[in-house]
């Protein structure tokens, strides 16, 4: 199945970067009164939020996270992020 925790972390980081880049691009579009740049930036920001959320979901369903939490006696450890 692969390591969902690692893949999820990568998606969260990439999503955050995409979200920030889109936010900056959208704000620059606002400052320049460029509606196309604004729309592209906001679209990129939304894609980043979706990717970040998908990464969180991947980490949440990773069976290794739940197994490690059960071993340590802390059932909520896998939900902290």
Predicted confidence (pLDDT) per residue in 13-48, tens digit: 999 999 999 999 999 999 999 999 999 999 999 999
Residue 78, sorted as left (phi over 0), alpha (psi -120 to 50) or beta, turns out to be alpha
Positive or negative, the CA dihedral 22, 40, 52, 10 is negative
The answer to whether 4 and 56 are in contact (CB under 8 A) is: no
pLDDT band (50, 70, 90) for residue 4: confident
Write down the pLDDT at residue 50: 98
Token representation of residue 39: 């729309």
Pairwise pLDDT comparison (3 vs 79), residue with the higher score? 3
Q: What residues make up the domain containing 62?
A: 4-79
Q: How many domains does the chain have?
A: 1
Tell me the pTM: 0.74
């Amino acid at each position: 199945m692969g390591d969902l925790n690692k893949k999820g972390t990568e998606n969260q980081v990439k999503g955050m970067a995409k979200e920030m880049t889109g936010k900056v691009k959208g704000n620059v579009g606002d400052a320049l009164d460029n509606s196309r740049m604004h729309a592209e930036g906001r679209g990129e920001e939304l894609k980043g939020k979706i990717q970040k959320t998908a990464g969180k979901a991947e980490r949440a369903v990773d069976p290794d996270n739940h197994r490690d939490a059960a071993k340590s006696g802390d059932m909520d450890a896998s939900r902290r992020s």
